[in-house]
Amino acid sequence: MFLVVGLGNPGSKYQGTRHNVGFEVVELLADGARAEFSEKKWKARVAKGRIAGDDVLILEPQTFMNLSGESVGPALGFYKLGTEALIVVHDEVDLPVGAVKLKKGGGHGGHNGLRSLMQHLPDPDFIRVRIGVGRPPPEWDTADYVLSKPGSEERNEINDAVKFAAEAIEAVIRDGLPKAMSVANRKDR
């Protein structure tokens, strides 16, 4: 079983913002798995489905980004899963707009959602699907930037990245992380 978590902020105010690309990916993934977000548990919207023959639990924490660990930690514990079964999708300002990169483990890099996860998980060795939203212009505060909506050209690049990220998650589940990384991280995105 895999636990796939999209990081974002709840509410219509945040839909379409750079910070909510994690939600967009898991919603697309759930659609592909014919899984509906029909439950609310662990302070999250929850969908259950199957991808590539494996059971998958898909979570959208409703705690706001900086408290995501309060949702993910209990869900992981309930199913007695280790962090090797956790896939987290999030925005990444250190990647160019539209880039998608997979990695395992690492620090939080100033990302408050990752920081919260690390406070509530036994180790930081979970799989990350990082979606590039680019750096803010010099006059912008990073928080204001990620909480804003991209222009139409950037939006198109992000939409493509969301689709690619969902495919990359399916590849991780089907083929394992090393093989999925060799394809996804090599792709010129």
What pLDDT, in 10s, does the model give residues 115-163? 898 999 999 999 999 999 999 999 998 888 989 899 999 999 999 999 9
Provide the pLDDT for residue 109.
76
pTM exceeds 0.85: yes
How far is the C-alpha of 145 from the C-alpha of 122, rounded, in Å? 31
Edge-first strand listing for the sheet containing 54-61: 39-41, 44-51, 54-61, 2-6, 86-92, 127-132, 100-104
Provide the pLDDT for residue 154.
92
Size (the chain), residues:
189
Point out the residues that are catalytic: 19
Provide the pLDDT for residue 184.
82
Whether the pLDDT of residue 46 is over 60: the answer is yes
Whether the pLDDT of residue 25 is over 90: the answer is yes
Closest CA to 25 of 59, 54, 1: 59
Torsion of CA 137, 138, 142, 145, to 10 degrees: -30
Mean pLDDT over each residue of the chain, to the nearest integer: 90
- Reported as a pLDDT band with limits 50, 70 and 90, residue 113 is confident
Phi-psi group of 106: left, alpha or beta (phi > 0 → left; psi -120 to 50 → alpha; rest → beta): left
Whether the pLDDT of residue 185 is over 90: the answer is no
- Reported as a pLDDT band with limits 50, 70 and 90, residue 59 is very high
109 against 5, higher pLDDT? 5
Give percent above pLDDT 90 in the chain.
68
Provide the pLDDT for residue 188.
58
85-112: average pLDDT: 89
| Domains of the chain and CATH, by start | 2-184 (3.40.50.1470)
Whether the pLDDT of residue 1 is over 60: the answer is yes
How far is the C-alpha of 72 from the C-alpha of 89, rounded, in Å? 12
Most confident residue range from 31-40, 96-105, 180-189: 96-105
